[in-house]
Structure 1
Amino acid sequence: MNISIKVFFWFLVLAAAGSPLVAAADGPASSGMNMPHMRGMDMSGMHGMPMGHMEAELIAARGKVNSIDVAGHKVNITHEAIESLDWPSMTMDFQVPDDATLKGIKAGETVDFWFEDQGPGRYVVRKMRPVAPPGNAE
């Protein structure tokens, strides 16, 4: 066998044998997440941090409670414009996770509330409190 053919042969053998090792050494980057900008970052402070569920950003708003559906876990609110979402004032239903969220809230009251956007048409109130009437500051 010619020398150049032998060299080429061994090059192919070594390249083929080395490719699984290279892929295994790449680890998490080959698991579907390509984050080259993260290479070299110190992640030692991330130990023990929950990664499965990231905290959703709560959106603050003020509005008037029109109706409460405790059984359906819903509240209908006419809210003021919400600049952070570029929403005008409107009336809409919000979901509530439990009865405790509605504790002390009555239809007709003006409330401050905080909700999260969980996808198209799914807005969940996480906190709600009545607004103190003028002259009755909290």
Structure 2
Amino acid sequence: MKRKTTLGMVITLCLPAVGFAQADSTTSMEMKNMHQSNHAAMHVQGMDMQGMQKSPPAKGVASTSYKATGTVKAADPAAGSVTLAHGPVRALNWPAMTMTFLVKEKALFNKLVVGKPVNVEFVSQGGKYVVTAVN
């Protein structure tokens, strides 16, 4: 008799704990689903997609050309690079800044005079930005 009473008490005491555990897991699952759906919605609704840069084109495909207006800060024909203090480039969502570009052709250095204002066209190639034209 003592054994039946002990077993009954154990079962009686454990049942509420099982119920709570089940309620907690259901609540956790509901919370997880709610978090995931809100997280997905946040990525779409909270993001300004207008200024996002597209992935670079595949090899053999013409790349997009961008334009910038700025002042030549340094030119290094031996390294094939030019440093420009340029204004915003809206197509790439860039603010005004000073940065170094590679230069596609050595002949372009004739127009890249330190201290002079320039208009340049450039492309993205392999993660680098390359000046392709100077006006």
TM bucket, shorter chain: 0.5 to 0.7
Choose between structure 1 and 2: higher helix proportion. Answer: 2
Alignment partner of 1:66 out of 39, 62, 73: 73
> Which amino acid in the other structure matches residue 107 of structure 2?
A
Q: 1:123 aligned to 2:123? A: no
Instruction: Give me the CA root mean square deviation.
Output: 1.6
The residue correspondences of 1:33-112 to structure 2 (distance < 5 A) are 53-112=60-119
Query: How many residues end up aligned between the 2 structures?
Result: 78
TM-score, structure 2 normalization: 0.54
- Superposed CA deviations along residues 61-87 of structure 1, whole A, max 9, x for unmatched, are 101100100100000001101111110
TM-score, structure 1 normalization: 0.53
Gaps of 5+ in 1: 1-50, 130-138
Moved over 3 A (4+): none
The residue correspondences of 1:13-32 to structure 2 (distance < 5 A) are none
Percent sequence identity over aligned pairs: 31
> Which amino acid in the other structure matches residue 66 of structure 2?
I
Gaps of 5+ in 2: 1-57
> Which amino acid in the other structure matches residue 134 of structure 2?
M
